[in-house]
């Protein structure tokens, strides 16, 4: 999901850069104020851990393999603000040391994977975890949140590509969302398995006592909402937009210029098969979310048998 | 394990240039490539990059290998553009831009040690906490990657058959536990050396 250089135009690069810088500033401030000094080296080590973990390949059917992304895992282990700093560090090193992910797309990558991937994922995890506070619901929340965060980050990525005029929404959204609904399954499973392994070896590492303060929730919430409004909302709705509707009602639609001033790069409805794919994907996504919630519940029940808690 | 950025520590006229200069040039070039209309100057930039690559005395096979390793990621995203009408031109433009940007960044990474890039970032007042995290991450990246590889090898020596996900996840969990323990030792060592 690392966006390379050349895929985002100036306005998207600047917007995502601004949002990423804002989110990172909130996270750094939060960590500076609340993280004990003794835990500062852990941020660097956790970033190195995520990097090493991404090199470990999990075999998937057909000779392919996948790896961990780690947003929700880090957020569950260290808290959301620390996770943003850790994942941003991973992305910066991948960009400058390995040329993986572009420099001009660094803001977009940090927004998608560090902010949406871990903070939005963590919010979902907390919502499930608040429900019942034991290891089983913790695992279930983490697995479900990992799936959601992978899909959400992919949708944001599709929105950024569309906003840049690189790929049309009707192509980018189904392609990115469908692929990442599958990748997310692996992410959820790995996250739950790693958490259960840590819970067996050092259960105290999982004791999460972060009290969510008002300021970071508001800060992160605002930045993510702003990003979703900019990158996803304009494309998510395939109804005729307000202006077209008004024009139709008032009957001056035929006054519209017959030859457009600028030729549209992608003529409307040029791909009859793909036109409804956005809706099909959205419906599939809604059903998928419910199914994955059930799967996460089953997974947690299998990993934590009744008698052990 | 061989360091990923082995060639960043070799010697050549390019390696001896100040890190700030190389970083600024690379960033400006990438910005230009991304923002400006593709034209004849792209060929000039490509030629310039090849000359720099030659001066840096990094084996061309290594550079091409890195480029080919990263190119599939670019192709994967660029292929989405092919699915739409008129996509071929978009595809070609993106591919050219991305490949030149990739080559620029690969050259930067392999002629400038990461610690020097961090030094430049510190001078331009990057947040201190982020710099500390990046520096520690870079220092222990190879240590943990080695540790993961050793744990993998030890496991392979003891179990037969297919590797199961649960086993791999246990390796990862154990790696995290060891990372936290190492972080505690590092903190003690940092305090002993006068870290505030």
Q: Write the pLDDT tens digit of every residue in A44-81.
A: 999 999 988 888 777 776 666 677 888 999 999 998 99
With an 8 Å Cβ cutoff, is A179 touching chain B? no
- Identify the pLDDT of residue A74: 93
Q: What's the whole-model pTM score?
A: 0.85
Could you read off the pLDDT of A176-231 as tens digits, one per residue? 888 888 888 988 999 999 999 999 888 888 876 666 667 777 888 888 888 888 88
- Chain-wide mean pLDDT for chain B? 87
Beta-carbon contacts of residue A285 (< 8 Å; ≥ 6 apart): A151, A177, A181
Rounded to an integer, the average pLDDT of B98-105 is 90
Residue A28 confidence (pLDDT): 93
For residue A255, pLDDT beyond 50: no
Confidence of residue A98 (pLDDT cuts 50, 70, 90): confident
pLDDT at B131 over 90: yes
Alpha carbon distance A211, A206 (integer Å): 15
Asked if the model's pLDDT at residue A6 lies above 90, the reply is: no
- Yes or no: say if A101 and A95 are a contact pair by the CB < 8 Å rule: yes
Q: What is the per-residue pLDDT across B158-168, written as a single tens digit (0 to 9) for each?
A: 877 777 788 88
Helix (H) or strand (E) holding A153: helix A135-163
d(CA B49, CA B63): 12
Nearest Cα of chain A lies from the Cα of B94 at a distance, in angstroms, of: 6
Mean pLDDT to the nearest integer, B56-64? 88
C-alpha span between A282 and A178 (Å, rounded): 10
pLDDT at A267 over 60: no
B53 phi and psi angles, rounded to 5 deg = -60, -40
Contacts of A159 in chain B (CB under 8 A): none
Say if the Cβ atoms of B137 and A271 lie within 8 Å.
Answer: no
Chain B positions in Cβ-Cβ contact with residue A108 (cut-off 8 Å): none
Residue, of A15 and A255, whose pLDDT is higher: A15
Is the pLDDT confidence value at B2 over 70? no
Q: Which of residues 110-149 of B touch A (CB under 8 A)?
A: 114, 117, 127, 129-130, 132-141, 143-145, 147-148
The predicted structure's pLDDT at residue A75: 92
> What average pLDDT does chain A have?
80
State residue A237's pLDDT score: 57
Per-residue confidence (pLDDT) for residue A209, from 0 to 100? 60
Res. A43: pLDDT tops 90: yes
């Amino acid at each position: 999901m690392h966006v390379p250089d050349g895929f985002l135009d100036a306005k998207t690069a600047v917007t995502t850069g601004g949002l990423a810088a804002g989110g990172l500033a909130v996270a750094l401030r939060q960590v500076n104020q609340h993280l004990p000094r003794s835990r500062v080296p852990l941020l660097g080590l956790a970033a190195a851990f995520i990097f090493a973990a991404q090199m470990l390949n999990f075999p998937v059917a057909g000779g392919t393999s996948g790896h961990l992304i780690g947003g929700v895992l880090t957020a569950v282990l260290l808290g959301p603000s620390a996770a943003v700093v850790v994942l941003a560090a991973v992305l910066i090193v991948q960009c400058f040391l390995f040329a993986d992910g572009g420099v001009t797309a660094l803001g977009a990558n940090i927004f998608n994977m560090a902010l949406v991937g871990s903070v939005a994922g963590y919010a979902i995890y907390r919502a499930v975890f608040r429900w019942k506070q034991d290891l089983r619901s913790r695992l279930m929340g983490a697995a479900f949140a990992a799936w959601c965060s992978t899909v959400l980050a992919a949708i944001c990525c599709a929105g950024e590509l569309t906003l840049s005029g690189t790929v049309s929404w009707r192509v980018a959204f189904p392609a990115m969302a469908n692929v990442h609904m599958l990748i997310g399954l692996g992410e959820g499973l790995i996250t739950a398995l790693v958490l259960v392994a840590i819970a067996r070896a050092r259960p105290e590492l999982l004791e999460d006592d972060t009290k969510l303060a008002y300021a970071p929730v508001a800060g992160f919430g605002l930045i993510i909402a702003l990003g979703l409004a900019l990158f996803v909302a304009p494309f998510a709705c395939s109804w005729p937009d307000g202006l077209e509707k008004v024009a139709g009602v008032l009957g001056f639609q035929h006054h519209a210029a017959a030859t457009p001033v600028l030729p549209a790069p992608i003529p409307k409805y040029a791909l009859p098969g793909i036109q409804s794919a956005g809706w099909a994907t959205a419906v599939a996504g809604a059903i998928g979310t419910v199914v994955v919630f059930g799967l996460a519940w089953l997974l947690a029940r299998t990993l934590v048998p009744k008698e052990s808690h | 394990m061989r360091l990923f950025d082995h060639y960043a520590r070799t010697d050549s006229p390019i390696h001896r240039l100040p890190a700030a200069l190389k970083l600024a040039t690379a960033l400006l070039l990438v910005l230009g490539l991304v923002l400006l209309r593709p034209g004849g100057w792209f060929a000039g930039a490509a030629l310039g990059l090849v000359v720099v690559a030659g001066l840096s005395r990094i084996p061309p096979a290594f550079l091409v290998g890195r480029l080919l390793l990263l190119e599939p990621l670019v192709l994967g995203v660029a292929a989405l553009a092919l699915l739409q009408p008129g996509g071929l031109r978009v595809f070609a433009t993106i591919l050219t831009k991305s490949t030149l940007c990739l080559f620029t960044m690969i050259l930067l990474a392999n002629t400038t040690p990461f610690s020097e890039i961090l030094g430049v970032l510190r001078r331009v007042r990057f947040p201190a906490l982020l710099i500390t995290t990046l520096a520690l991450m870079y220092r222990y990246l190879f240590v943990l990657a080695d540790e993961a590889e050793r744990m993998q090898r030890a496991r392979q020596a003891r179990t037969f058959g297919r590797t199961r996900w649960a086993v791999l996840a246990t390796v990862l969990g154990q790696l995290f536990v060891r990372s936290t323990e190492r972080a505690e030792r590092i903190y003690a060592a940092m305090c002993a050396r006068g870290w505030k």
